[in-house]
Structure 1
């Protein structure tokens, strides 16, 4: 037996327990980034609505005068729109549909895999399976998804702040 616990049932059980704890943490981080992205999308949508409202007759953006003001306004609007799209991508479900059927026989953690299994076959698989490799694969996939979501939210917030600054600058310059 090696020091890494290979062949050691107690070490294997501890590793599986740790993997489930990490799984729960990554799931929680993903839920939090989805909530933050929903809030960001709300702010970005509200900013878009305010800009549209201020573009009506007699309002500040009704007919922005000068090329610079129009350029600032339109650039800000595009940046806010990009921010909203990025935030929407964060909350969009990541189902990985194309690979699920082929991955299903070797996986039993993700609901997308489970829907392709039969109950008796799954029960047998769970009886004989070594859960650590399955959990490890799932943790890697979940972590990549969580990283992507966090990065998209980060870019959304930067794009929103930049766009809002341009719109405010256009309003001040109008």
Structure 2
């Protein structure tokens, strides 16, 4: 596949260079959202540990009186745990293993595809500069969808955590 008519090799090279810069930026966004998820999971784990510790004999949540305070504590705890699940979903590797081998012949940016390629065949693909931009463009779209979903999960994680913590604090006040 060659560049559209009127598009020279220099323009194609600039497009590929720009695509690689975007690829790097998306990679950085992925690392940042993973760090945010780790932070959220740390908060949620600490909150869960605190709730468990404060539920022991003689502590504030040990003898909650009335269904209202208990319900708030249980609901808050559940929301915190739901938040933790969303944080874990951010950092779970997305390998798309069942499709990798079938997709490998037309892709060479993602390591999951590369492991199914032969070195000489990959070298030939990389030499054909007209194949780089479409492959890289597809990868950018896939990566962007993954990063979007990760950011959304971090948002949900923190929202559930905040709501859960608020309910637990209200239960503590009512105790």
RMSD: 1.2
Q: Distance in 2 between matches of 1:6 and 1:48?
A: 61
For 1:114, the equivalent position in structure 2 comes to 114
Deviant stretches of 4+, over 2 Å: 4-7
Moved more, 140-149 or 125-134: 125-134
Q: Deviations over 1:69-110 (max 9, x none)?
A: 011000000000000000011011111111111110000000
For 2:78, the equivalent position in structure 1 comes to 78
User: Does residue 95 in structure 1 map to residue 100 in structure 2?
Assistant: no
**Long gaps (5+) in structure 2:** none
Q: Deviations over 1:43-68 (max 9, x none)?
A: 10000000000000000111211010
For 1:169, the equivalent position in structure 2 comes to 170
Q: Distance in 1 between matches of 2:113 and 2:158?
A: 33
Moved more, 117-126 or 32-41: 117-126
Q: Distance in 2 between matches of 1:6 and 1:38?
A: 48
| Closer, same or farther: CA 5–34 of 1 in aligned 2, 3 Å | farther
Q: Distance in 2 between matches of 1:8 and 1:70?
A: 70
**Long gaps (5+) in structure 1:** none
Q: Distance in 2 between matches of 1:40 and 1:92?
A: 14
Q: Distance in 2 between matches of 1:98 and 1:5?
A: 38
For 2:145, the equivalent position in structure 1 comes to 144
> Taking structure 2 as the reference length, what is the TM-score of the superposition?
0.95
Kept in 2, the 8 Å contact 1:60–1:171? The answer is: yes
| Closer, same or farther: CA 6–93 of 1 in aligned 2, 3 Å | farther
Length, aligned pairs only: 171
Kept in 2, the 8 Å contact 1:76–1:167? The answer is: yes
SS of the residue corresponding to residue 108 of structure 1 reads coil
